[in-house]
Amino acid sequence: MLRSKRHTTLSRLGRAVLLAGVLLLHAVVLAQRPKLPRLPKLPKMPKMPYIGFLQQPDSAVRRQYIQEFEQWKTGRLVLSTRNLQFELRSRTRRDAFIQFRPSSSTTLGVAGYYRRLGLELGFKLPTSEERQQRFGNSRIVDWSTTLYGDQFGADAFFQRYRGYYVRNGYAVDSLWRRGNPYPRYSDLAAFHLGGNIYHVFNHNRFSYRAAFTQMERQMKSAGSFLLMTSVAIMNFSNEGQAFIPSRRLPGYNNNNLGYARFYNLALAPGYGHTFVHDRLYVSMSLFMGFGLQHQRYRMNDRIENVGQVFRKYNMRLATGYFGEVLYGGAGLLLDNTSSRVQDLVLSVSSPSLRLFAGVRF
């Protein structure tokens, strides 16, 4: 037993010494080997560009797509027309509708710009007596302004019109024929106050300022998703009388619509694209969405207060020629809302057309 115990102790000691020797020899061998080079650090991945509202300005990308004219002054002539028009149609008979239009309001103006600031003065062009006899003479107060920024844009407007004619005169007068004076509602008044604010997602490549004011030049074709928020107040009246008697609109179920006021709040996504060929361009964009509307109106001498969902779309078209010195173009804006009022559909539009030619110096 004693021998066996002594042998076991010596065996353990020998194994420990042998293991220590092996580890020491391994360390010496590793020390004699050349050191392996360190692995190179991987380059940092470039940050992905932000999208949406968090997209940051990228001057390098923007310079490839958009040329700015910050140090240039410019002057231009502007011919423009704008109005507030609306249409009422029966929900039960699609062929029963009345189109109300004001007499045209065309202005000729001059504008001057320096960098991103500008001032424009316009004067209403006179209309002939023959035209006044056919279309009447609307009394118009129409003011609007548009801001085209890099990421955001805005429209603000104030419109007050009195005096409308019926474009499809046969709808209110069975004896009316083309060439005759149009049926007129001289006391029919419309009021429109509001604005739009919109965001350009791809603002490093797509420029509204280039398309509509040419204070910048878009060098390459590009597009962007858009988002618009809109608020407005609309009012219609005819000196206390029903401006749409039931006998004038077949299928309207014998109701008389008088005074009406609408409060609108809408959200409309959209998309815009500018196509560029050398110094020529065409830009198109469309917003389409829905909103909430509070209606207060008088129907058959009874005041109604109701809430509705309404449709909204906003279309913008522009085309022109980019010149270093001489330039010119045209822009069309159309803002439309469509609302249901009992058995009627009321569609309100604000078209605006501008033609301009200018010089940079």
**190: confidence class by pLDDT, cuts 50, 70, 90:** very high
Tell me the average pLDDT across 74-83.
90
The model's confidence at residue 225, banded by pLDDT at 50, 70 and 90, is very high
Contact (Cβ atoms closer than 8 angstroms) between residue 159 and residue 248: no
For residue 336, what pLDDT is reported? 95
Residues near 333 by Cβ (< 8 Å), separated by ≥ 6? Answer: 155, 314, 315, 316, 350, 351, 352
47 pLDDT band, cuts 50/70/90, is very low
Spell out the CATH class of 70-360.
mainly beta
pLDDT at residue 105 in the model? 78
CB 336 within 8 A of CB 266: no
258: tokens are 């008088």
Confidence grade of residue 89 (pLDDT, cut at 50, 70, 90): confident
Q: How confident is the model at residue 308 (pLDDT cuts 50, 70, 90)?
A: very high
CA distance 235 to 131: 27
pTM exceeds 0.85: no
* Whether 74 contacts 116, CB under 8 Å: no
Query: Are the beta carbons of 355 and 327 closer than 8 angstroms?
Result: no
What's the CA gap between 141 and 160, in Å, rounded?
5
Q: Where are the domains of the chain?
A: 70-360
Which tokens in the block code for residue 295? 């209606």
Q: Are 163 and 184 in contact (CB under 8 A)?
A: yes
